[in-house]
């Protein structure tokens, strides 16, 4: 059984533990492709993101959809929906949040932003634990939108 985080504690869902593990490879591949694209944009610098956002409407729309919807959805599903649930089965929820946040930060391959990513990972992990669902997706989408807007305005 997969543990489900609720405000009242951990309860077991009706799915066998291995069912979630079968979905991870396809989600991981999709997420990695989106992450590589987003890390490429971060590594190239804000000037390239500005150019994409201020370009033709289709590139602006694609960048916003990838950065503010697709990437947060995939990452929250993987890091909170699967990883955090799996870790909670073997350790205290606080430790699981820290471990999943370290993995979340490391997966972004961004040394200069690792503390920021670790912090947002902890916030999102706690939000997921307390809400019991992927409301962390909304917070992550807003976080990415703020970063995108600050890049555009800088």
Single out the residue of 116, 26, 123 nearest to residue 77, CA to CA.
Answer: 26
CA distance 37 to 128: 26
pLDDT band of residue 96 (cuts 50, 70, 90) is very high
SS3 140: helix
Dihedral over alpha carbons 90, 97, 67, 28 (to 10 degrees) = -20
pLDDT per position as a tens digit, 10-27 = 444 444 444 444 444 444
């Amino acid at each position: 059984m997969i543990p489900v985080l609720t405000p009242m504690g951990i309860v077991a869902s009706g799915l066998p533990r291995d069912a979630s593990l079968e979905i991870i490879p396809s989600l991981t591949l999709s997420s990695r492709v989106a992450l590589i694209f987003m890390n490429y944009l971060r590594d190239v610098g804000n000037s390239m993101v500005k150019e994409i956002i201020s370009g033709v409407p289709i590139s602006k729309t694609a960048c916003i959809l990838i950065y503010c919807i697709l990437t947060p959805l995939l990452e929250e599903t993987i890091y909170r929906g699967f990883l955090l649930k799996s870790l909670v089965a073997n350790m205290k929820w606080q430790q699981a949040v820290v471990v999943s946040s370290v993995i979340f930060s490391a997966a972004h391959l961004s040394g200069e932003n690792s503390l920021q990513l670790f912090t947002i990972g902890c916030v999102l992990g706690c939000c997921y634990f307390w809400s019991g669902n992927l409301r962390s997706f909304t917070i992550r989408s807003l976080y990415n939108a703020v970063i995108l807007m600050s890049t555009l305005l800088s």
